[in-house]
Amino acid sequence: MRSEIIEMLKRYDEIEALILEQKIDEYSDKLDDVPPGEEDVTYEQYLQRVAEAETIIATRNLEEEPDEKLGGKSMYQVFEEMGFEELTECLEYCAVNLDRGVPECLTATIAAFPDPERVKEYCANVIGQAAWTEDEVGDDNTIFEMEFQRVKACLDVLIKMEEPAFIKAVIDRFMSYPVTRDFVAESIADYVEHFPDISVPFVIEMLENNYDQGLTGPCEDLVIMLTAMGKEKPSEEIYQALRHSFRFMDNKIYAVICLADYGDDRAVNMFKNYINRNQKTIERNLFYEMMSAIQKLGGDINDIEDPFGDFTAKGGTTEEG
């Protein structure tokens, strides 16, 4: 890669990091707590999310403005003048080496390349050949977390292209591992959830095929993805899949949280019936998660017998905090 391009990308990364820092300081001075209606658990999460959103807007302007150091061109124009090989070299360099990842204008330029089949072939090769777990890393000098950023970068390109062609292949490979890292699941979720009309049937089918195995490992992530897609576009099929997930999941807490998040109040009676049937065997954590879920869904918990005796109905918390 040309030295001037590396210099441009490093400078962009440094400026973007400074913008984020400034935005966090700005909002830290203005706000004392999370505004009403926000779902973030903590003020820090809310602050980070708002600052990130503001940073994206600011850096998007930075990418489009002429720069004397680039000969009066913008970053966008520099990328648009590149050939495909140099563009993908930049993509991988940014994914692996930059703290803030791939500039949005680079992703957009590759996604809009005049030969979309070439882009899809490149993305398929990277996604297919890269390691998805530490065990698959062939080079001892390769850091897995950085290596997988190349996959994420290609998934972002496919999202920008509105290209769902690899949904089934991505889900199939994701499901081939007994467990994956959180950041891998999050990257896969970004791609899967962007195409709900295509993804939902595949996800439901995959869950149905794994009911008898207890829906462990990546199935837990699929239930979370299905919930996210269902919140945007609810359907009877999604609710029934979540209901069955609760029935078959070894770790039912995942399903309880997802059903509460999905928001269908039919789950209230299901949770109450489960508690009544399992008064002597239900685990403490599951019981309190279900009580909180019932309240979140608008249900009444006053008619539920607490086998542990320390649930505080007011506010739905335990004495343990």
State pLDDT tens for residues 94-148.
Answer: 999 998 889 999 999 999 999 999 999 999 999 999 999 998 887 777 788 888 9
Quote the tokens at residue 55.
Answer: 């940073």
Q: Spell out the alpha helix ranges (H) of 65-181.
A: 75-80, 84-97, 104-111, 116-129, 144-161, 167-175
Residue 244 lies in a domain: yes
Of 4-8, 136-140, 296-300, minimum mean pLDDT range: 136-140
Which of 227, 245, 264 is a domain's end point?
A: 264
Same domain, 40 and 99: yes
Same domain, 244 and 273: no
> 159 pLDDT band (50/70/90 cuts)?
very high
Share above pLDDT 70 across residues of the chain, in percent, rounded to a whole number: 92
Residue numbers of the domain that contains 18? 1-115
Residue 285 lies in a domain: yes
Same domain, 294 and 224: no
Of 28-32, 159-163, 166-170, minimum mean pLDDT range: 28-32
* Mean per-residue pLDDT of the chain: 89
Total number of domains in the chain: 3
Same domain, 253 and 273: no
Structure confidence at residue 4 (pLDDT): 86
Same domain, 168 and 257: yes
Same domain, 238 and 273: no
Residue 157 lies in a domain: no
Residue 24 lies in a domain: yes
Which of 231, 248, 264 is a domain's end point?
A: 264
Determine the average pLDDT of the residues in 74-92: 95
Of 68-82, 199-213, 221-235, 286-300, minimum mean pLDDT range: 68-82
Neighbours of 71 (CB within 10 A): 10
Same domain, 259 and 270: no
Residue 124 lies in a domain: no
Instruction: Tell me which of 25 and 78 has the higher pLDDT.
Output: 78
**How far is 57 from 59, CA to CA, in rounded Å?**
6
**How far is 207 from 199, CA to CA, in rounded Å?**
12
Residue 29 lies in a domain: yes
Share above pLDDT 90 across residues of the chain, in percent, rounded to a whole number: 64
pLDDT in tens, 244-257: 999 999 999 999 99
Same domain, 95 and 2: yes
Which of 219, 238, 264 is a domain's end point?
A: 264
What's the maximum distance between 2 C-alpha atoms anywhere in the chain? Answer: 74
pLDDT in tens, 19-65: 878 877 777 766 555 555 555 556 777 777 777 788 788 778 778 88
Same domain, 173 and 242: yes
Structure confidence at residue 190 (pLDDT): 97
Q: Which residues contact 311 (CB under 8 A, 6 or more apart)?
A: 287, 288, 291, 301, 318
Same domain, 55 and 77: yes
> 166 pLDDT band (50/70/90 cuts)?
very high
Residue 298 lies in a domain: yes
Residue 120 lies in a domain: no
Q: 304, 272 in Cβ contact below 8 A? A: yes
Same domain, 242 and 174: yes
**How far is 81 from 236, CA to CA, in rounded Å?**
49
Q: Which residues contact 50 (CB under 8 A, 6 or more apart)?
A: 23, 27
Same domain, 234 and 170: yes
